[in-house]
Chains A and B, each alone.
Chain A
Amino acid sequence: MRNPAAVVVRGIDRRLGVSPLIAKLAVKAFPRHWSFLFGEVAVIAFVILVLTGIALTLFYEPSAAMVTYEGGSTLHQGREMPAAYASVVTLSHDVPGGLLLRRVHRLASHIFVAAILAHLIRVLATGAFRAPRELTHLIGVALLVMAAISGWTGHNLPFDVLAGTSLRILYALVIAIPWVGETLAQWLFAGEFPTGQMLPRMFALHALWAPLIITALLGLHLALIGHQDHTQRPRDDIDAERYVVGEPLWPWQAMTSTVLALGIGAVLAVAAALLPYADLDLHGPYRIGEATNASQPDWFLFWVEGLLRLAPPFEFAALGAVWSAPFLMGVALPLLLVAATALWPWIERAIRGHEDVSHVNQRLHDIPVRAAAVWAGGTFVAVATIAATNDVIARLLDAPIEIVVVVLRVLLIAVPLVAGVTAGLVARRRQQKLAAPEEAAAVEG
């Protein structure tokens, strides 16, 4: 019996003459380390999101028009609610497997963002963004931004209280932009908040444009990696700058990917079975003029929410515009941090004053400026993230919210400062120690 895979490959080759390419691809070496799998986890999560998302589009109705729900949910039976919310209640309670579908999609979206974030941290920490891979890094940050946009728009589609609140806050953030904010917000929302166009536009962005853009960026990202080969950790047994050592794509890397994909699917299924997650009954539909305690966005936007909560109130007029704390802390600062992350390969090169072309991973503390930046930036985002739950912290500690906010404001400045300076100094001392024997040798020589 002939191997069916061989039959397919031969059939394709007879028509296209691509067997040299396939042969080369099949033995392409993938360096082995668990931290190299974050990107792969993100791709798998994206595939799961697209597949479950296609199924979800069959049931979702992007409309804020008020309808009366009739169906199996006793909590919502006979009540008036936005059509979008009602369609999600119907999917959860009246469509077989609907709740499983929703939960898997929702959980996969968290894994998607988390995996990209972990991937980014690895790339920043190991210097994998250095020449010649700056473009790959830039596209990677764009993918993170698109993943966050997808997550945020998806979170809002059911149009529950949290969704309405987060739309209201985005609208307020956009109108706070100097000069153009009012106009821009009304373009985005098709008028003054709230409008009937919000849900159709968000649905198009979430279900059409975001996945299209992510697919294009992802294709480019993977093509660049394929073309340039992976970075790898330093090796004692071979010159890692010149040679790449790893498992061949076929069958080993293909097996790893398949097992990983099935494993993630199994984890999502178990989690969806056991966690009472993404249930609408907790919050109820959005109604104008209503919000709840403990209103938080999805975790990956906590840091922006935290900055909004910690910003001391101020606003001043200058240059014919108004400059307010929500704009400076809630819009400008987050965008600046994302831009600095995306442009870090060039920023680091400018600070260090020389280009460093390398295929080999470093340790974070090999480069003082990088160690300082990653620790300072990372802890800043971490403290801001914690600040997004300041009301919950105050309740748990039974402390006045006023005190919690003041303490967090101090920590937001102090922790990154201390962490950044310490990391930079530790890295510099390490560098000096490594350089010391050479200096001694130079003196002797």
Chain B
Amino acid sequence: MQEFERIDPSPDRGSFRVVALWALASAAGGIGFAVAFVLEADVAVLGILLAIALAGMAAAIRRYVLATYPQVTGVEERPALPTEAGSAGQVEGVVTAGEQQPAGQRMGRRTILVAGCGIAVGLVAPATAMGPTRPDIGLRTRWSDGVRLLDDEGELLSPAALPDGGLDTIWPEGPDGQPVREELSSVVLVRAPVDRLRPPTHLDGVVDGNLVAYSKVCTHMGCPVGLFRAGTGALFCPCHQASFDATAGAMPTFGPAERPLPQLPLRLEDGVLVAAGEFIGHVGPTTGLRPREGRPTPAEIEGSE
């Protein structure tokens, strides 16, 4: 490096008295931090003292260097890049030396390359041990005909428990009488703000004409569809704002969801709500492998009426 510019140290660029002051402030901050830490001080006190210790040291070092060293700007010649004719040519000669060999040896090299692919395949196979893979994602839930509905506290539900415009999170009852909190079995029970629900709701799975249950798992990204605009009967996902019409088969009305929330058919047994079967449709987001039931066609909607 050759010198290009130079500024000599001078008193106005930094003095040792200032250096000492900053260094002492830093030390005070550091010791203060240790004391505060032992006394279990609040995060605000600890943070401020630590900042004083660090900032004081930064200022001291800067002042010290400015006061001590001439500020030099240097200039260096950049190393030249190799040219085709120069060193690059030599490297090529080494790498391609094999091509000068007779044909038989070249075949040996190809065999090694092909055999290497075998190793690669062998090393990929253990990935299958990373997790059990099931072909039926989103197809298994705990619901079947006769499974009783439980709320989040594990209580059985009578239709009267849910007032107009009400929404409740529901779980299937397990063998031990406790709610089974499995995501794919989560359900929202909705008292839609209308007298009668409209198709494509499966009306024979509805109680009181307006009490209906849908999967709580958004068909967009799987977030829980937990918000209900009681006035319009819209179910709403907090993640990406997908909206579903709870009064009409939970069809998507707005936002990024493509498919309706699957309906869980209900019936009454001994005065409490039970499932009348499995979900109608596939639970959860789209997978990249198997087509899911999409929107019902207009003909299907009319046909169910």
Q: Does B74 contact A (CB under 8 A)?
A: yes
The answer to whether A100 and B76 have CB atoms under 8 Å apart is no
The answer to whether B288 and A391 have CB atoms under 8 Å apart is no
The answer to whether A405 and B255 have CB atoms under 8 Å apart is yes
Within the assembled complex, what's the spacing in Å between the Cα atoms of A326 and B37? 49
The answer to whether A190 and B130 have CB atoms under 8 Å apart is yes
A317-B186 contact given A176-B285, A262-B54, CB 8 Å threshold: no
CB neighbours (8 Å) of A322 from chain B are 286-292
Q: Does B272 contact A (CB under 8 A)?
A: no
1/0 per position for A137-181, CB-CB distance to B under 8 A?
000000000000000000000000000010011011101111111
- Say which size band chain A's interface belongs to: 35 or more
Q: How far is the CB of B200 from chain A (nearest CB, A)?
A: 17
1/0 per position for B229-258, CB-CB distance to A under 8 A?
000000001111100000000001011111
Binds A, one of B41-49, B112-120, B191-199: B41-49
Q: How far is the CB of A275 from chain B (nearest CB, A)?
A: 9
Within the assembled complex, what's the spacing in Å between the Cα atoms of A438 and B166? 77
Q: How far is the CB of B131 from chain A (nearest CB, A)?
A: 4
CB neighbours (8 Å) of A317 from chain B are 291
CB-contacts of A83-99 with B (<8 A): 96-97, 99
Q: Chain B residue with minimal CB distance to A255?
A: B65
Q: Does B157 contact A (CB under 8 A)?
A: no
Q: Chain B residue with minimal CB distance to A290?
A: B224
The answer to whether A186 and B288 have CB atoms under 8 Å apart is no
A179-B289 contact given A100-B43, A269-B50, CB 8 Å threshold: yes
CB-contacts of B42-92 with A (<8 A): 43-48, 50-52, 54-55, 57-58, 61-62, 65, 69, 71-79, 81
A27-B1 contact given A263-B55, A322-B286, CB 8 Å threshold: yes
Within the assembled complex, what's the spacing in Å between the Cα atoms of A391 and B236? 12
Q: Does B127 contact A (CB under 8 A)?
A: yes
Q: Chain A residue with minimal CB distance to B140?
A: A192
Q: Chain B residue with minimal CB distance to A98?
A: B43
CB neighbours (8 Å) of A97 from chain B are 37, 43, 46
Q: How far is the CB of B3 from chain A (nearest CB, A)?
A: 10
Q: Does A130 contact B (CB under 8 A)?
A: no
CB neighbours (8 Å) of B291 from chain A are 317, 322
The answer to whether A258 and B58 have CB atoms under 8 Å apart is yes
Q: How far is the CB of A106 from chain B (nearest CB, A)?
A: 13
Q: Does A431 contact B (CB under 8 A)?
A: no
The answer to whether B43 and A186 have CB atoms under 8 Å apart is no
A103-B43 contact given A29-B75, A289-B181, A313-B258, CB 8 Å threshold: yes
CB neighbours (8 Å) of B221 from chain A are 168-169, 172-173, 308, 326
The answer to whether B133 and A315 have CB atoms under 8 Å apart is no
CB neighbours (8 Å) of B224 from chain A are 289-291
Within the assembled complex, what's the spacing in Å between the Cα atoms of A314 and B202? 24
The answer to whether A245 and B287 have CB atoms under 8 Å apart is no
Among B54, B133, B186, B284, point to the contact of A269 (Cβ < 8 A): B54
Within the assembled complex, what's the spacing in Å between the Cα atoms of A431 and B186? 62
The answer to whether B73 and A247 have CB atoms under 8 Å apart is yes
Q: Chain A residue with minimal CB distance to B71?
A: A252
A194-B183 contact given A181-B288, A186-B133, CB 8 Å threshold: yes
Q: Does A17 contact B (CB under 8 A)?
A: no
Q: Does B132 contact A (CB under 8 A)?
A: yes
The answer to whether A309 and B73 have CB atoms under 8 Å apart is no
The answer to whether B76 and A243 have CB atoms under 8 Å apart is yes
Q: Does A211 contact B (CB under 8 A)?
A: no
Number of B interface residues at 8 Å Cβ cutoff, please give it: 75
Within the assembled complex, what's the spacing in Å between the Cα atoms of A315 and B295? 11
Q: Does A105 contact B (CB under 8 A)?
A: no
CB-contacts of A191-219 with B (<8 A): 191-195, 197
The answer to whether B47 and A100 have CB atoms under 8 Å apart is yes
The answer to whether B131 and A28 have CB atoms under 8 Å apart is no
A259-B58 contact given A27-B1, A312-B256, A325-B258, CB 8 Å threshold: yes
Among A180, A186, A288, A326, point to the contact of B131 (Cβ < 8 A): A186
CB neighbours (8 Å) of A262 from chain B are 54-55, 57-58, 61
Within the assembled complex, what's the spacing in Å between the Cα atoms of A242 and B50? 45
The answer to whether A29 and B76 have CB atoms under 8 Å apart is yes
CB neighbours (8 Å) of A190 from chain B are 130-132
Within the assembled complex, what's the spacing in Å between the Cα atoms of A97 and B39? 11
Q: How far is the CB of A284 from chain B (nearest CB, A)?
A: 14
The answer to whether A243 and B131 have CB atoms under 8 Å apart is no
Within the assembled complex, what's the spacing in Å between the Cα atoms of A178 and B288? 4
Within the assembled complex, what's the spacing in Å between the Cα atoms of A309 and B256? 6
Q: Does B146 contact A (CB under 8 A)?
A: no
Q: How far is the CB of B263 from chain A (nearest CB, A)?
A: 18
Q: Does B169 contact A (CB under 8 A)?
A: yes
Q: Chain B residue with minimal CB distance to A327?
A: B288
Q: How far is the CB of B269 from chain A (nearest CB, A)?
A: 24
Q: Chain B residue with minimal CB distance to A168?
A: B222
CB neighbours (8 Å) of B287 from chain A are 175-176, 181-182, 322
The answer to whether A28 and B1 have CB atoms under 8 Å apart is yes
Q: Does A437 contact B (CB under 8 A)?
A: no
The answer to whether B48 and A270 have CB atoms under 8 Å apart is yes
The answer to whether B286 and A171 have CB atoms under 8 Å apart is no
The answer to whether A266 and B58 have CB atoms under 8 Å apart is yes
The answer to whether B54 and A324 have CB atoms under 8 Å apart is no
Q: How far is the CB of B74 from chain A (nearest CB, A)?
A: 5
Q: How far is the CB of A83 from chain B (nearest CB, A)?
A: 17
A273-B74 contact given A291-B239, A309-B241, A390-B241, CB 8 Å threshold: no
CB neighbours (8 Å) of B153 from chain A are none
Q: Does A282 contact B (CB under 8 A)?
A: no
The answer to whether A189 and B54 have CB atoms under 8 Å apart is no
CB neighbours (8 Å) of B284 from chain A are 172
Q: Chain A residue with minimal CB distance to B62?
A: A259
Among A169, A197, A272, A311, point to the contact of B222 (Cβ < 8 A): A169
The answer to whether B227 and A289 have CB atoms under 8 Å apart is no
CB neighbours (8 Å) of A287 from chain B are 181
Q: Does B207 contact A (CB under 8 A)?
A: no
The answer to whether B137 and A192 have CB atoms under 8 Å apart is yes
CB neighbours (8 Å) of B220 from chain A are 172, 308, 313, 326
CB-contacts of B187-235 with A (<8 A): 216, 220-224, 226-227
Closest 8 CB pairs of A and B: A273-B47, A262-B58, A181-B288, A266-B55, A269-B51, A190-B131, A313-B258, A27-B1
Contacts A/B (CB < 8 Å), 20 sampled: A96-B40, A97-B46, A99-B43, A165-B239, A238-B4, A244-B75, A247-B74, A248-B1, A248-B74, A252-B71, A259-B58, A266-B51, A288-B181, A291-B226, A308-B220, A313-B255, A315-B286, A322-B290, A357-B81, A359-B78
Known contacts A97-B37, A100-B43, A265-B50, then 4 further A-B pairs from the complex at CB < 8 Å, ordered by chain A residue = A186-B137, A259-B58, A294-B238, A315-B286
